[in-house]
Amino acid sequence: MSELYIPGNEFDLSGGDDVRQNNVCVAQETLDVQAPDVPQEETSANALVYSLLRGRAADRKRPEAGDNQDAKLFRLLSLSELEQAIVNISYYYNVRNLVPESALGSFQISGLEDAGLHYNPETFTIEGVPNHLGTFQLTISFNIKGSPFSKLMNLKVITLWKYVDPPADLPFPKANSDSAALIVDMYRMRGLKNVAAASVRGRSHAYDGKPRDDDFRLSFHEATGWYMCVVSDGAGSARYSREGSRVLVEQMESVFSDVFSSSSFSSEVLRAVETYAQDCDDNAFIRNCTEIMVKPLKTALDRTIACFEETAGSVEGARLYDFSTTCLLSVFRRCPRGWIVFTYNVGDGAIAMINDHEGYAAILCNPDEGRYFGETRFVTTEGVCSEDNIRRRILVNYVRDFDALILMTDGVSDPKFESDRNLHDSRRWLDFYRELAGEVSLYGCNDELREQLMKYLEFWSIGNHDDRTLAVVF
């Protein structure tokens, strides 16, 4: 019977009738391997190692106890890959397990950067957080007995997550991801804004084969210059919330498309802006603009609830709560002296305006919770659709300009801000914007804008694997 070598951190060279490696008992017998030929182009050090293998095979013995250098070289030649890594999980491998102590000072390894890892020569460790899946080819090299030695090895980066598609017969199907971009002012020559959004299914939903519950819509009315952005997060506890979020964003888009086409809406807003420019009465301006927005919001929410009730009536066992979803909405346009920005929200998530040039950011919503910890409100919550409640949730801002207007569901806000207190921290928003701008080129002429935004939403955060939706006005 041939001796079987089980890869481990070290050879057990203590002798005896058997050797235990990784809790596997291995018969202590002679080694039966074919002696490799030394290629002509091999260096003297490579030849030395190959001759070591050939000599051991000829002697039908393993390296003697205490012959640590020979043992490690012998093991190195038998290995084709390093210990596998898990994507987005810290990786640590001590090179002392791989090469003799005398070679550590000259040890080098290339190819780690592609996997998101690096070699620390001070601790002789390969470490980091791998950020890509796949098999990566590495080249290790070191000097042994005064001559260079090199070898190719593989490193596999795997994932523990499963990505399971929802059942094909699931009611109200939805794509696992979506993205869109409104390039209104490609080269920023007209003083207008561009908009991009992306939505991805969370890892927890993908693991369980559940659909994406988030949704969004973007629109721009060329004739009047009005923009509309809305994102929605379907309640995880509601059976058909994926349909609820879809219905809500479609109704918002439909209602405001009609509103933007109406000359009365624009004229009322512009009249309020002109009055404000003359009397500078903040309270009157906010009160007037709020009243202008109440009616279209009431219409959109009432139509949304009516659709929920109609659909519930046609689905056995369904009820209104099954379509519960949040709402984050912004309606805005350029005016003669700046930008008028309306925002409205029900539930968690966040809306914020960024002015990076002036080092300022402000949250433009009031993320609301329910009566209990971790509970939030939805458009189906009793009383939310009343005019008084709608009025309290509308915020009005009139600004000279801004660098970005950002809307995000809690799948983004929870891992990035962690608490309501941080959501109100201007510095945290500036840090977030700069991080985002470092990953996504926020330019209208960027052909990869949507893909970059989708990729950004794949960021890793321990314990945060909900659906993620992000809309950015820039």
The span from the CA of 423 to the CA of 412, in Å, is 12
- pLDDT of the residue at 374: 58
pLDDT tens-place values along the chain, 474 residues long: 332 222 333 333 333 333 333 333 222 222 233 333 434 444 445 555 545 444 444 443 444 444 467 777 778 887 889 999 999 899 999 999 888 888 999 999 999 999 999 999 999 999 999 988 999 999 999 998 888 999 999 999 999 888 999 999 999 999 999 999 999 999 888 899 999 999 999 999 999 999 999 999 999 999 999 999 999 999 999 999 999 999 999 999 999 999 999 889 999 999 999 999 999 999 999 999 999 999 999 999 999 999 999 999 999 999 999 999 999 999 999 998 999 999 999 999 999 999 999 999 999 998 786 555 457 899 999 999 999 999 999 999 999 999 999 999 999 999 999 999 999 999 999 999 999 999 999 999 999 999 999 999 999 998 999 999 999 999
Residue type, 371: R
Q: How far is CA 253 from the centre of its chain?
A: 26
Question: pTM score, two decimals?
Answer: 0.77
Residue 101 three-state SS: helix
The span from the CA of 70 to the CA of 106, in Å, is 17
Listed residue (335, 396, 402, 345) closest to 368, CA to CA: 345
- Beta-bridge partner residues of 26: 19
The span from the CA of 262 to the CA of 269, in Å, is 12
Cβ(42)–Cβ(17) below 8 Å = no
- pLDDT of the residue at 289: 98
User: Which structure tokens are listed for 383?
Assistant: 């009383």
Residue with tokens 């207190």: 421
What stretches of 43-90 show up as alpha helix (H) in DSSP? 44-59, 68-78
Residue with tokens 């089980």: 6
Surface-to-core class of residue 319, CB atoms within 10 Å of its CB (0-12 exposed, 13-18 middle, 19+ buried): middle
